[in-house]
Amino acid sequence: MKFPAPVSMQWIASLIDASIVGDAAAMATGINEIHKVEAGDLCFVDHPKYYDTCLKSAASFIIINKAVDDRLGKTLLVCDQPFEAYLRIVEHFRPFVPANTLISTTAVIGEGTVVMPGVFIGEQVRIGKHCIIHPNVSIYDHTEIGDHVVVHAGTVLGADAFYYNSKRDRPVWYKQMKSCGRVVLEDHVHIGANCCIDKGVTHDTRIGQGTKIDNLVQVGHDVVIGRNCIIAAQVGIAGATTIGHGVNLWGQVGVSKTLSIGDGANVLAQSGVPSSIEGGKTYFGTPVEEASTKRRELVWVKRIPEMWEKLKRMEGEG
């Protein structure tokens, strides 16, 4: 999330009750979680296991629970509970605003766009020209939709990320990391019925130009899907995954988190993708392998009973 205007470390430190190690006058331009940080961003870390990753990231400013010696040029905001500090910043810049109308007066809807009855459109939503938003679609705050987009009935754009801070030393182990990112649908995207596309935790979940998504698809937080992809029914894509251009994911494919799928990959139905795969190939199985390899394996698996019987006969003859 980018701040409306840059803010100083002194101001942030006052908001979250932190001490500053570094340049108190330095200006942060936004806040991001570790998978999406950019120069000028503020991020947080609250476990020594992740100190090194955070300190070596692109983030310029870090909320941390210990003043470390090697800051690698970062300005630190030191406080007891970095996660709670993150929540306070998000709540300040993106407070929850209850709706009192189905379509917010702050929404911008382009020429020729049709919004069917029962659609909810939240704060600061932008919808382009010549779109069709079918009945009972819910479009959460700050969502951005391009031109010539179709969204079918029952779909939800911009629900919170399924993303939790876990600590076993408190009564409620899992505490939600409040989402302040967006959903962005580029031009000529089609979304089927009853899909759920979650907003980014602090950045954008983005669906590229010309991509078509079937019914009953789940797209997790901060996922980036490229141009001209086909995503068939009941596909599930976990958070912070990057999918290239021209990728096909057929029915009931499951994709794990924080991985990448290369341009032109074709993943056949009911496959599971646990780690990154190259583009330009066809994959099948769980875990996926190139389809030609997996098919040969299946042929041999089917022959196991025959081979077992043959082995027993050989042992008997011996």
Helix H or strand E segment including 8: strand 2-8
| Active-site annotation holder among 142, 152, 221, 245 | 221
pLDDT one-digit tens code per residue, 85-114? 999 999 999 999 899 999 999 999 999 999
pLDDT (0 to 100) of residue 308:
87
Q: What is the pLDDT of residues 46-56, one digit of tens each?
A: 889 999 999 99
Q: What is the pLDDT of residue 290?
A: 96
Q: Is pLDDT at 119 greater than 80 in this prediction? A: yes
182-192 average pLDDT score? 98
pLDDT in tens, 8-31: 999 999 999 999 999 999 999 999
245 is catalytic: no
Overall average pLDDT of the 203-230 stretch:
98
Ramachandran region of residue 301, left (φ > 0), alpha (ψ -120 to 50) or beta?
A: alpha
150-176 mean pLDDT: 94
The arithmetic mean of pLDDT across residues 211-240, rounded, is 98
Domains defined for the chain, CATH in brackets: 2-93 (3.40.1390.10), 108-293 (2.160.10.10)
Mean pLDDT value across residues 178-191: 97
Residue range 218-231: average pLDDT?
98
Mean pLDDT of 34-59: 92
Q: How confident is the model at residue 250 (pLDDT cuts 50, 70, 90)?
A: very high
Average pLDDT, the chain: 95
Residue 310 — very low, low, confident or very high, per pLDDT cuts 50/70/90? confident
Sheet architecture: strand order including 126-127: 108-109, 126-127, 144-145, 182-185, 204-207, 224-225, 242-243, 260-261
pLDDT at position 8, please? 97
pTM, 2 dp: 0.91
Residue 36's pLDDT band (cuts 50, 70, 90):
confident
- What are the beta bridge partners of residue 219? 197, 237
> How much of the chain, in percent, has pLDDT values that exceed 90?
86
Instruction: Tell me the pLDDT band of 267, cut-offs 50, 70 and 90.
Output: very high
Cα separation of 257 and 134, whole Å?
30
Tokens 């799928």 sit on residue: 261
pLDDT for 309? 86
Average pLDDT over residues 297-318: 84
User: Which pLDDT score, from 0 to 100, does residue 126 have?
Assistant: 98
User: Would the pLDDT of 317 be above 80?
Assistant: no
Number of Cβ within a 10 Å radius of residue 73: 9
Residue 154 scores a pLDDT above 90:
yes
Instruction: Identify whether the C-beta of residue 184 lies closer than 8 Å to the C-beta of residue 209.
Output: no
Predicted local distance difference test score (pLDDT) of residue 318: 59
Dump pLDDT digits (tens) for 66-88: 999 888 889 999 999 999 999 99
For residue 126, give the 3-state DSSP assignment.
strand
Residue type, 30: G
Is pLDDT at 60 greater than 90 in this prediction? yes
